[in-house]
Amino acid sequence: MNVLPDIAISPGVSAGKKTAMRSPHAGSGSKIFAELEGDTGNLSILAPQSRPIVWLATQRHAPEGSLVILFSTRPNRLDPADRDEIQRQLTEILPQARIRAIAATDWAADPFSKGSWCALQPGRTREVVPALARPEGRIHFASADTAQGWRGFVDGAIESGLRAAREIGETLR
């Protein structure tokens, strides 16, 4: 949804799709993988929206080290490249945590993504989803952003791929 306006489609897309593309979706948070020293145990920590880290969840843990995921809701709240700041914020919710390594990408700054997983603005679902999914002539659109279920997830990407493949099959018949 966020990058479609960057693609030139000739002779142009329908009015419905133009309206759907008028503003990006709200998904712009960070998902940071952090390898921590020692065994953190199996954790799920939720923090208020005002905090740079709003959720920590363990992926695996062992005495040799633990892997956790940290979620932030906005890119300007937590720079995924700023390890010292991530350590500082992590200490606020898990005082004993010591970061050994981090892995993350600023998807909001990536020109081929311009955001993270799709989170539509309130009230826009009925307008955006059918309009984005609608074929434009012989061009068919698959994207997790157009899924009926699991929108903004990998399952939604697969669902939309199946839908677009069916449409193309019908067109070819």
Ligand X SMILES: Cc1cc2nc3c(=O)[nH]c(=O)nc-3n(C[C@H](O)[C@H](O)[C@H](O)COP(=O)(O)OP(=O)(O)OC[C@H]3O[C@@H](n4cnc5c(N)ncnc54)[C@H](O)[C@@H]3O)c2cc1C
- Other C-beta atoms closer than 10 Å to the C-beta of 9 total 12
The residue among 131 and 144 lying less far from ligand X, judged by its C-beta, is: 144
Instruction: Name the residue among 34, 82, 29 with its Cα closest to residue 58.
Output: 34
- Single residue of 1, 108, 144, 159 touching ligand X by CB under 6 A: 144
Distances in Å between the alpha carbon of 134 and those of 10, 128, 160?
A: 16, 10, 11
Stretch that binds ligand X, among 45-53, 73-81, 90-98, 152-160 (CB under 6 A): 152-160
For residue 30 the two structure tokens come to: 């960070």
Size of the chain, expressed as the number of residues it contains: 173
The residue among 94 and 119 lying less far from ligand X, judged by its C-beta, is: 119
* CB of residue 114 to ligand X, shortest distance in Å: 8
Q: Under the rule (CB under 6 A), what is the footprint of ligand X?
A: 3, 6-7, 31, 107, 112, 116-117, 143-144, 152-157
